[in-house]
Amino acid sequence: MDQASSLRKMVDKQSSDIKKNIPSSTQTGNVNGLGPRVISVSSGKGGVGKTNIVGNLAMAFASQGKRVLILDADLGLANIDIIFGIHPTFNIGHVLNGEKQLSEIIVEASKGIHIIPAGSGFVNLTHLTEGQKLSLLSEFETIGDMVDIFLIDTGAGISTNVLYFNIAADDCVIVATPEPTSVTDAYAMIKVMSTRHDTKHFKLLMNMVKDVAEAKSVYQNLCQATERFLNDIVIEYAGYITFDESVRESVRQRKTVISLYPDSIVSGQIKKIADTFLKWPRRSEYDGNIKFFMKRFVDYKMQQ
């Protein structure tokens, strides 16, 4: 058997395994045959609220009947598992070293939300062997029509992994707070993405702001700086979340703020952001999705 057909056989088997893992009642296919919408959430600087935002956005999407898959690629202090109060035994590292298949490590975090847990094997994707990349590609291919939204909680900064996720996503969401270092680091990230990787579209999500005025003023400052110094950048305003103790309290209780305080101001703001995201048009059929994203991985080595 040649490599392609053995891969195909593996994909078919994993596809049925993964379908077993994701409830059949939710297997309704995703919009326009474009595959899941891939949204990367990153930031120039750590600790700005990415993991909280990913978890809570997932809750807001799921409450609208969307099937959400989260890839926890942030190896920072707080994993996404914390805010769902789960303790996964296996992670993507076990897939990369061949011990497990993707279907065996995906865990249900809440109704309609599945997670691919983070693992040390994800530290540097560029160091994967050709075989690891191919097998990861085939595993991700199986997920395509079982998920509506694929959310990636990336790490902070301009490491190669973060850049990859941002390049391949339909929507590249950058989270910033009004803190000057957060804004300058967001700018630095946009600069690298646009000058070195030709990514020109970004969505800025402001977190921990005092009010809408503060969010808009930081957004405008960032837009002015990019207009002045960078070419053809489009930064869309994705919304804001105010600084609120309820977020910290929900983390302490290992819950999402949407489930703990569904009627709070912050929960309302997150739901509004989720609605905004769903209204954004898909950019193009080849400009996102998991398959495309993973293919870039495989091709990467050839370009080096």
The helix (H) or strand (E) run that includes residue 194 is: helix 180-197
Residue 199 to residues 31, 99, 133, 146: CA-CA distances in angstroms? 24, 35, 23, 27
Q: Is 42 in the site for Mg ion (CB under 5 A)?
A: no
Parallel, antiparallel, or unpaired for β 149-156 and 68-72?
parallel
- Residue closer to ligand ADP (CB basis): 243 or 300: 243
First to last CA, the chain: 29
Determine how many CB atoms are found less than 10 A away from the CB of residue 144.
18
Q: Is 74 in the site for Mg ion (CB under 5 A)?
A: yes
Q: Is 98 in the site for Mg ion (CB under 5 A)?
A: no
Of all residues in the shown chain, the one whose CB is closest to ligand ADP is: 49
The whole-angstrom separation of Cα 151 and Cα 171 is 10
Please choose, out of 36-44, 73-81, 95-103, 247-255, the segment that lies near Mg ion by the rule CB under 5 A: 73-81
Residue 33 to residues 22, 98, 285, 289, 302: CA-CA distances in angstroms? 19, 30, 9, 11, 29
Please name the residues in contact with 23: beta carbons below 8 A apart, sequence gap of 6 or more.
none
Q: Using CB under 6 A, list all residues that contact ligand ADP.
A: 43, 46-52, 74, 76, 78, 207-208, 241, 243-244, 247-248, 251
The site partner of 43 among Mg ion, ligand ADP, none (C-beta below 5 to 8 Å per kind) is ligand ADP
- Residue closer to Mg ion (CB basis): 74 or 171: 74
The whole-angstrom separation of Cα 46 and Cα 28 is 36
Among 15, 42, 51, 194, which residue sits at the site for Mg ion (rule: CB under 5 A)? 51
The site partner of 157 among ligand ADP, Mg ion, none (C-beta below 5 to 8 Å per kind) is none
Q: Is 182 in the site for Mg ion (CB under 5 A)?
A: no
Q: Is 81 in the site for Mg ion (CB under 5 A)?
A: no
The residue with tokens 């070195």 is 196
Q: How far is the CB of 74 from ligand ADP (least distance, A)?
A: 6
- Residue closer to ligand ADP (CB basis): 18 or 251: 251
Binding residues for Mg ion, rule: CB under 5 A, are: 50-51, 74, 76
